[in-house]
Amino acid sequence: MTGPTPPSLLSPSSPGAHPASSDSSLSGSTIRRTLELGFRRVRIELLALVRNPLAVVFTLAFPLVMLGIFGSVFSGAVAPGVSFTEYFTAGMIASGAFYAGFQNLGIAVPLERDNGSLKRLRGTPMPPAAYFVGKTGMVLVVYMAQVAILIGLGSALFGLHPPASLGRWVTFAWVSLLGLAACSLSGLALSGLIRRSEAAAAIVSPIVVVLQFVSGVYFQYNLLPGWMRSVGSFFPLRWLALGMRSVFLPAGFARLEPGGGGWQHGTTALVLLGWAVAALAVASWRFRWFREQRS
């Protein structure tokens, strides 16, 4: 006897070869398995993100650069007791959800479809939902990092007041979550409509910039021309920005908001939810795990 045969590396379907690992098999709760792999994907997504200098610049550093430029150039007040930088920081936090959700997914998902990433995943036993759990987690972490930096920098340099009451934090939480849902799902829906990943950045980035202008991020919303406000009101960013102003600006500022003078939380929630639902419908209709090729 020469002792036990070493475990065969490449022998297929040898039951009992890995009793420990086959226990955590697919027969376990599907939801638990989806979440477990989803969390692993969050880690992988973040790892890939922080190692990609372009992605870090686009999603994390860009809002800070804009804050730095605008905060240094414009120093006036938009209303008694409200500086432009304070107003602008609230708008950039709203934009943060837009960068983390819409821009991030709108550019990354077509790329992952074209480079075989999604096709590879679809060929594994990973539950497809785990991929979306991974993206959701990654978007949340990126958003929270952005917000933490923006609130920190805004409070230190630009006169921003972090929410002082529980009510405002609650508002911040639901506006953030609904906003992230609307923006991420819109990004996912758009990714399904973009045929070639090379074009993704050229399609997504202008949408982001234009919406920031018509939604009152770069300029005061109440001073925009009526038609521009009407255009902006169709899209989630305008409502997200309004919601963030209700969190970070004094209550009195609500008087200046067009549309009845108030924070309009009900309308904000409805519009963001509506966008989330509609975008989810488009995304599930258009999402593809690999590039369609016809010869």
Partner 1 sequence: MEAGIGVETVVAASSVPDTGTVTNCVIDVSGLTKRYGTLWALSGVDLKVQAGECIALLGPNGAGKTTTVEILEGYRRATAGSVAVLGEDPNRAGPDWRSRIGIVLQDATDQGQLTVTEVVRHFATYYPNRREPDEVIEAVGLSGKRRSRVASLSGGQRRRLDVALGIIGRPELLFLDEPTTGFDPEARRQFWDLAAGLRRDGTTVVLTTHYLDEAEHLADRVAVVAGGCLVADDTPAGLRQGPTTVTWRDRQGKVCRSETTAPTRLVSELAATFGGEVPELAVQRPTLESAYLRLLAAHGGAAKDVAA
Q: Which residues bind partner 1 (CB under 8 A)?
A: 5, 8-15, 17-18, 21-22, 24-27, 37, 40, 44, 47-48, 51-52, 112, 115-117, 119-120, 122-127, 289-290, 294-295
Q: Which letter does DSSP use for residue 123 in this model?
A: T
Q: Which of 153, 148, 144, 149 is nearest to 85 (CA)?
A: 153
Q: Which of 44, 171, 176, 192 is nearest to 98 (CA)?
A: 176
Min separation Cβ 8 and partner 1, Å: 5
Nearer to partner 1, 176 or 197 (CB): 197
Looking at the DSSP assignment, which residues form a beta bridge with residue 82?
79
Looking at the DSSP assignment, which residues form a beta bridge with residue 79?
82
Min separation Cβ 113 and partner 1, Å: 10
Measured between its terminal Cα atoms, the distance across the chain in Å is: 59
Nearer to partner 1, 124 or 165 (CB): 124
Min separation Cβ 294 and partner 1, Å: 6
Nearer to partner 1, 132 or 213 (CB): 132
Tokens coding 6:
């070493």
Looking at the DSSP assignment, which residues form a beta bridge with residue 130?
none
Min separation Cβ 58 and partner 1, Å: 15
How many alpha carbons fall within 13 Å on the CB side of residue 57?
A: 3
Looking at the DSSP assignment, which residues form a beta bridge with residue 77?
83
Overall residue count recorded for the chain in this entry: 295
Nearer to partner 1, 165 or 295 (CB): 295
Nearer to partner 1, 28 or 262 (CB): 28
Q: CB-based burial of residue 71 (10 Å sphere; 0-12 exposed, 13-18 middle, 19+ buried)?
A: buried
Tokens coding 282:
């488009």
Min separation Cβ 195 and partner 1, Å: 16
Q: Rounded CA gap, 97 and 235, in Å? A: 13
Min separation Cβ 198 and partner 1, Å: 13
Nearer to partner 1, 55 or 79 (CB): 55
Min separation Cβ 124 and partner 1, Å: 5
Nearer to partner 1, 40 or 161 (CB): 40
